[in-house]
Structure 1
């Protein structure tokens, strides 16, 4: 195949990956993704893909060890990947053709270049960001992030926005620290959020619990990058923003279940859950009983 024949991919377009995937996606982020981050999980057998070029930074994670053939500099090379190995293909760079024979699940994480810039914009010179291609690198943290996102989305895609954005911001900063052409020393402030800013964001969270809150929105409220905001928030509160939001939703749900004649589905919607089954699982995890049992006993 001539290099002029590579396929262009764009994770922002739902049908783009269908060009190279014989079998459909098993799990994926909602249409449009989460503010520039996209997740996909698929399983293929006897897989072959041509050279590709994506609009986003693309990270591939195999769910187990596997043998693959990659076409590098017009020559096929065999590579053995372990469970902690990942591939990183920067945006607008050509990825090699690939083949493998066994059945294999793949997690694919895609980050818009602007997402990476936004993750830590006040900490680095974003005009000089260049992510380096990695055909094979051993990175347990990236694998852990990918598997954690897969588990979260298997429970509920529609209620996973805040968790997904939090994980994606961690991933973006990790890319800048470890895989950028120019090493970035990202400042880690340990002082926490100023009291007036913490009060402002807590008020915003409580006023918007019924909405599908995002890390990007909260960081805009306090005029910080998502990464810097999340880091300082955790230092101030002892838990990450997405964990704090869940805690607030559960506490609000307890109040509504006790004091109002509302159905379980109405309560779940009033505290920001779009899936009643996910609300029930989260509530039981934190309180020890289902919302219905709690309602009947209080």
Structure 2
């Protein structure tokens, strides 16, 4: 099992400790190269954590299983709640917590880097104004939906790559800012489209580096736009999100390679067009084309 890369700070000692003990992290995004976000699925045994605070923004979503009794200490008083699957807790940098629980349960821990959030929305909101509100044992169906999406991505081997992970992180951050922060109104959506020059530069970069791991942050930085601004303008301009465009481009390249190769190696083609391996390639190809690469190869042979 992987080790937790999400750390809490003990208020008594100022020393960090992992959000999940050794042997309790079922899956993690830490090795995937996602920028600005770490996602972990924990199976936590009964425990009582010391009083601690968080560094950065951290959200824990009760992901699966039966309802459990969860308590947290405020001063000398313990607060008790029955939490259902989908209930979430939100802590921002400096928020203090001291929880305990008495049954094993699974939770999806999502750690957002404040620098990623600030950079993603720098055209829209001043970074110093970004303050998420503390939430304890609350339910938000949209948050639960995001937790499910993150969980599916981890379980399926993260075939979407870092670009998909960053796209999810952006959409998730937007929801938190609009529904769980001091921001009182919806963030204004960027209007207009990318200029022809901006679009050409982006498309050229994607095609040139399509076999590499592409980053939403890098694509936005190249045009000196925030990630939020770039993503909106890109989709308005061509009708696809950056992730959807890159995925389709890779699959189209793969189709051409399959058609021109007398004895195509699907593993080699997968790596050549930018997928981790043949498994990721097969899932993405079938999602776009409707059939597996092997079936497509038989059709065109």
CA drift of 1:202 comes to 1.9
Contact 1:57 1:110 in 2 (8 A): yes
CA drift of 1:130 comes to 2.1
Name which of 68, 78, 102 aligns with 2:70: 68
1:210 aligned counterpart, secondary structure: coil
Alignment partner, residue 12 of structure 1: none
Alpha-carbon separation, structure 2, partners of 1:268 and 1:170:
28
1:245 aligned counterpart, secondary structure: helix
Deviation per residue, 1:7-45 (Å, 9 max, x gap): 535xxxxxx33xx42542111013485222111001123
Alpha-carbon separation, structure 1, partners of 2:33 and 2:112:
10
Q: How does 1:127-206 map to 2 (within 5 A)?
A: 127-157=128-158, 159-183=160-184, 185-206=186-207
Alpha-carbon separation, structure 1, partners of 2:254 and 2:245:
14
Alpha-carbon separation, structure 2, partners of 1:243 and 1:154:
20
Give the alignment's TM-score, normalised by structure 2: 0.87
Contact 1:6 1:50 in 2 (8 A): no
Q: Which piece of structure 1 moves more, 177-186 or 74-83?
A: 177-186
Alpha-carbon separation, structure 1, partners of 2:166 and 2:192:
23
Is residue 42 of structure 2 the alignment partner of residue 34 of structure 1?
no
Give the alignment's TM-score, normalised by structure 1: 0.88
Stretches of structure 1 that go unaligned for 5 or more consecutive residues are 10-15
Alpha-carbon separation, structure 2, partners of 1:228 and 1:236:
12
Alpha-carbon separation, structure 1, partners of 2:11 and 2:151:
33
Alignment partner, residue 54 of structure 1: 54
1:243 aligned counterpart, secondary structure: helix
2:12 aligned counterpart, secondary structure: helix
RMSD between aligned residues: 2.2
Contact 1:58 1:109 in 2 (8 A): yes
Deviation per residue, 1:106-125 (Å, 9 max, x gap): 00110111011011001111
Alignment partner, residue 44 of structure 1: 44
Is residue 208 of structure 2 the alignment partner of residue 207 of structure 1?
yes
Alignment partner, residue 249 of structure 1: 250
Q: Which piece of structure 1 moves more, 32-41 or 159-168?
A: 32-41
Alpha-carbon separation, structure 1, partners of 2:33 and 2:13:
28
Alignment partner, residue 5 of structure 2: none
CA drift of 1:149 comes to 1.2
Alpha-carbon separation, structure 2, partners of 1:232 and 1:35:
21
Stretches of structure 2 that go unaligned for 5 or more consecutive residues are 1-9
Q: How does 1:266-285 map to 2 (within 5 A)?
A: 266-285=268-287
CA drift of 1:6 comes to 6.7
Alpha-carbon separation, structure 2, partners of 1:33 and 1:92:
26
Contact 2:159 2:284 in 1 (8 A): no
CA distance 1:186–1:38, change in 2 (3 Å): same
CA drift of 1:63 comes to 1.5
Alpha-carbon separation, structure 2, partners of 1:103 and 1:152:
23
